[in-house]
Amino acid sequence: MSTPHTPPHETLDRRQEEERIRSEGRLPPGQALTLKFPVLHYGDVPAFHPVTWDLRVWGEVEKPAAWGWDEFNQLPRTTISMDIHCVTRWSKADTVWEGVSVRTLIETGLLKLLPTATHVMQHAEYGFTVNLPLEVVLQDNFLLATHFNGEPITPEHGYPLRGVVGAIPGRDDLASPYLWKGAKWLRGLEFMNRDQRGFWEKAGYSNTADVWKEERFG
């Protein structure tokens, strides 16, 4: 049986691209560039039923909200290009994501927060949770994403909806957590008046997860 291997030209292309990204100051410590998109998650890929699917918002908001799949796709859309960094030490550059910005929902009045809101818990299928400070959720580099590089996100990467957070080149003013801080198969946003640890944070992963400081574990 032959052993699978990466063709030499692909290895060369990856190394050349990695050196370019590194020279531009875009590759955090301990990371290696990949041209692929590795699949990493805990548990099975959930089924998607568009008729019954919804995204709920509750907690420190003036009024709870819920959008069905068709309604969600009518919300204002945003497209961002950013580098994503996984805690397992791979990075992928110049990824393009399309979806809904939480900040836009607030700016357009579709979502009204109470002054007491300080943190957000992302609730996903199977009870999976991810926490983030509100200030990060409202940054340009956090998105409720439905599309990746012009195509609907694949089921393995979170279809139909996932939170995604990355690093926008040249935007050193933005906090840039590792990719796990965006939940796949997202079903709800709970706005909270204090921080609570999510699934991986309870398991020992860093609560802040800053890619530039290599905050992988607590």
Per the CB < 8 A criterion, the answer to whether 161 and 115 are in contact is no
pLDDT at 43: 75
Please give the backbone phi and psi of residue 145, each rounded to the nearest 5 degrees, phi first. Answer: -100, 140
Residues in CB range of 137: below 8 A, 6 or more apart: 102, 103, 120
pLDDT at 1: 37
pLDDT tens for the chain, residues 1 to 218: 334 455 554 566 999 999 999 999 999 999 999 999 998 776 789 999 999 999 999 999 999 999 999 999 999 999 999 999 999 999 999 999 999 999 999 999 999 999 999 999 999 999 999 999 999 999 999 999 999 999 999 999 999 999 999 999 999 999 999 999 999 999 999 999 999 999 999 999 999 999 999 999 98
What is the spatial distance between Cα 53 and Cα 147, in angstroms, rounded to a whole number?
A: 17
Q: Tell the residue number behind the tokens 């940054």, with chain if given.
A: 139
Paired with 83 in beta bridges are 167
C-alpha distances (whole Å) from 42 to each of 126, 129, 180, 201 are 10, 12, 11, 14
Tokens of 100: 């809904």
Tokens of 203: 């398991």
pLDDT at 131: 98
pLDDT at 218: 87
| pTM value > 0.75 | yes
pLDDT at 106: 97
From start to end of the chain, where are the E strands?
Answer: 32-33, 54-59, 65-68, 78-85, 90-100, 119-124, 129-133, 142-148, 151-152, 162-165, 186-192
- Which helix (DSSP H) or strand (DSSP E) does residue 16 occupy? helix 8-23
Tokens of 153: 């996100």
Q: Which residue ranges form the domains of the chain, and what is each CATH number?
A: 37-213 (3.90.420.10)
